[in-house]
Copies of this chain bind each other. A is one copy, B any other.
């Protein structure tokens, strides 16, 4: 599950150790996809309340989903060294998990660009989770957003990456 680049140079740091944006202008545009995930853990009472209150109109989950999609489009404004990219597809899903209890959140982002969209997918799940927290925080402040992680990336010359998860 762990992938470590043995060439231990931080590509965002130049020779003097200063932060810098990696130059991607010479790379060719290829189709790239990234999938990220996280989960929001809460008490059973909160989980039940969201399920019940949400039933008629689905607004908690719908709002969190829209927030995640819109946040993916803000990624390069939030993460200082991210490149602004055209985005072909952003999909965010929140899946109830009664065992957690809480919600599993998944985001898939696709682009045809010179660099990947890992940060866009990670930003989408993070903001969807923060929005879920915001909408339920009057019920419970002890909710936790857990395990924001990259599930897979494809496309690009650095090779594909994929986490093996049971679920």
Choose among B3, B13, B23, B88 the residue that contacts A53 (Cβ–Cβ < 8 A).
B13
Which of B46, B58, B147, B161 contacts A141 (CB under 8 A)?
Answer: B161
A66–B69 touching, CB < 8 Å: no
Chain B residue at smallest Cβ distance from A143? B149
Tell me if A50 is interfacial: C-beta within 8 Å of chain B: yes
User: Which of these, B78, B114, B119, B138, contacts A11 with CB under 8 Å?
Assistant: B138
Nearest chain B CB to A61 CB, angstrom units = 9
- Chain B residues near A131 (CB-CB < 8 A): 79-81
Chain B hits for A147, CB < 8 A: 144-146
User: A80 contacts which of B12, B67, B81 (Cβ < 8 Å)?
Assistant: B67
Measured between beta carbons, the chain B residues less than 8 angstroms from A16 are 56-57
Give the residues from 76 to 133 in chain A that come closer than 8 angstroms, CB to CB, to chain B.
Answer: 76-91, 93, 110-114, 118-119, 122-123, 126-127, 129-131, 133
15 cross-chain CB contacts under 8 A: A10-B138, A13-B57, A18-B93, A19-B63, A24-B88, A25-B88, A25-B110, A26-B31, A57-B58, A69-B81, A70-B70, A78-B130, A86-B113, A129-B148, A146-B146
